[in-house]
Structure 1
Amino acid sequence: MVHPIERLRFVARAGWAGPTELAVEAAYALAELAEQEPAALVPACRRLLERNPGYAPLWWVAARVLCAGDPLEEADRCAGQLEDDRTEELLEEALAGRRWIRHGGVAEATTADVVVVSVDGMGPTGMIIDGDDRGVLEAAAVAGTDVWALSGTGRVLPARLWQALLERADMPPPPSRTAASSWFEPVSRSPVVAGLSAVARVAGPLGIVGVFEALAGCDCPEPPELLARW
């Protein structure tokens, strides 16, 4: 049986996976850790975020687990919500009969009704996108085409946690402190942050809403363990 620390090590280094996949694996690993070594939850969450600071779903899972009365149950709940996320389906239903694109230049954006941009995270001052999507955002602005942000479960963060993410993402990786922490030796991964002014709608797990509604509907707490510098 794989020890939860080893599973978390795998998650921390899984560069092949996207935010949701990583968050699901992290949630299950944290559930095991909560059962076997609950005192290790805070340092484990911090090391995960050092390794992948630009992935909002990891912050969402860590915050909810650390604030829960029953971390094991909450970690399982987070994994289930991430796996059952219907955001993609809701987006396709809302855009049925309309022309929409995810990639392309001005020519494609001009003929589209909506440009959809996937986000790794969203907060009051911006959204984290893939660097390759900057071009389609600029094309949408030139063409005057509506931009919808695809922001699934766990991707909207409250103000202070969002700021912590931005600050952590810009920090150089700290050196490994001990042999015990070296399995989480972080690497720097700076997110690409875009403004929210061009976003007309946000597609999330509860449907298609405006930016203000998406931010107001955030279901993530702000644990002090993740707000303080570490």
Structure 2
Amino acid sequence: MTPFMRSNRAVSKADIDEAIALKEVCVGTSQVMNYLTQQAGGYDNVGFTHKDLYNALQRDYTCFDDVIELDTTYKDNLYGRPIMPIVGLNHHHNTIVFATAIIADETSQSFESVQQNFLEAMMNKLSISVVTNRDRAMQRAIKYVIPYAKNILCSWHLSRNAQANIGDPKFIAVFSKCMASWWTTEEFDIQWRSIVLEFNVKKHPWVIEKGNTRHLWAQAYLIDHFFANIR
């Protein structure tokens, strides 16, 4: 089994796989290290340090960092502060939790700080694509910190917004089709105009905004970009 080498010690692939599995369910690196130490029967037997494990997990990020997803819709903590997980996908299409931050507020400055600290910890390896919810402050932060990354809006959030703003199940169904269909941009524009007319939502502010930002959510406008099937 080929190990990942760091300093004078090695973290085996089996240990890395186990660590990744634990981090996927939001177990911190320190807790992972404690668990692996107990499994090995003590610190003298584990064969690597906390720093070695941290570096090995950083290397995992460099393998699967092409696409990351940022989300601040979670506020499930003692202080009611937004929780911002930064996640990706591995080669098995399983979710990898790279980092999680609790932020003071949802301003561009807070988002920039988290992203800059994250990039510093991950050796300044920039992603090529970022999936987010529709948050203008986060959009500005991404453009500042990762200026060349292609951004896409999360389809789950878009579907929820469609439900909240329009409410018609038939509209939501055809809107979902518009998000996912591999049309050309010309075909998309024809279909979109037809839907807007059919449901009489031409003047609806949410529909107008979605039409203006279709390059951020419609598959037709994102065909040439890699998102690892994260939608």
Same fold (TM over 0.5): no
Please report the TM-score for the alignment, with normalisation by the length of structure 1: 0.28
Please report the TM-score for the alignment, with normalisation by the length of structure 2: 0.28
Q: Which has the larger radius of gyration?
A: 2
Name the structure, 1 or 2, with higher relative contact order (CA <8 Å, separation 6+).
Answer: 1
